Amino acid sequence: MSFKGGVFAKQIAKLASGTALAQLINIISLPLLTRLYTPSQFGVFAVFLASVAVLSSISTLKYENAILDEEDSQDAKNCTVLTAISGVFIVVPLLLYCIFSYYFDFSLIGIDWLTALFLTFAIIFTNTFTALYYWCNRLQHYNFMTKGRVFAAIAVAFISLLIGYLELGTVNGLIVGSLVGMAVNMVYLILKLNISFSTVRQISFEKLFVLFVKLKRFPLFLVPSTLLDRVAAQIHIFVFSSVFGSAIAGAMGVYNRVVGLPISLIGNAVGDVYKRRISELLKSGKSCRRAFIKTGLALFTIAAPASCVLFFFAPEVFTFVLGEEWKQAGEIASFLSVNFLLAFVVSPLAGILYLRENQKIDLLIQIVLVVLLAIGMSIAVYENSFKIALSAYAISFGVKYLVQLIVSFKLAK
pLDDT tens figures, 207-243: 788 888 888 888 887 788 788 878 877 888 888 888 8
Q: Range of 369's domain? A: 5-411
Q: Is the model's pLDDT at 88 over the cut of 60?
A: yes
Domain count, the chain: 1
Residues paired with residue 111 on neighbouring β-strands, in sequence order: 108
Residues in the chain: 413
Whole-angstrom distance, CA of residue 299 vs CA of residue 348:
9
User: Is the pLDDT assigned to residue 53 strictly greater than 80?
Assistant: yes
Structure confidence at residue 139 (pLDDT):
83
Return the DSSP state at 325: G
Please tell me the pTM assigned to this model. 0.73
Q: Quick one: pLDDT band at residue 92, thresholds 50, 70, 90?
A: very high
Gyration radius of the chain over CA positions: 21
Task: With a cut of 70, say whether residue 24 has pLDDT above it.
Answer: yes
Tell me: pLDDT of 266 over 80: no
pLDDT of residue 1: 40
- Kindly report, residue by residue over 292-309, the tens digit of the pLDDT: 888 888 889 988 999 999
The one-letter amino acid code at 159 reads I
Please report which confidence band the pLDDT of residue 6 belongs to, taking 50, 70 and 90 as the band edges. Answer: low
Q: What is the pLDDT of residue 149?
A: 86
**271 or 72: which leads in pLDDT:** 72
pLDDT tops 50 at residue 3:
no
Name the H helices within 263-288.
Answer: 268-283
Q: Could you give phi then psi for residue 72, rounded to 5 degrees? A: -80, 130
Average pLDDT, the chain: 84
pLDDT over 70 at 49, yes or no = yes
The rounded percent of the chain whose pLDDT value lies above 90 is: 28
At 141, give phi and psi (nearest 5°). Answer: -85, 65
**pLDDT band of 264, cuts 50, 70, 90:** low
Average pLDDT over residues 268-291: 75
For the cut 90, the answer to whether the pLDDT of residue 131 exceeds it is yes
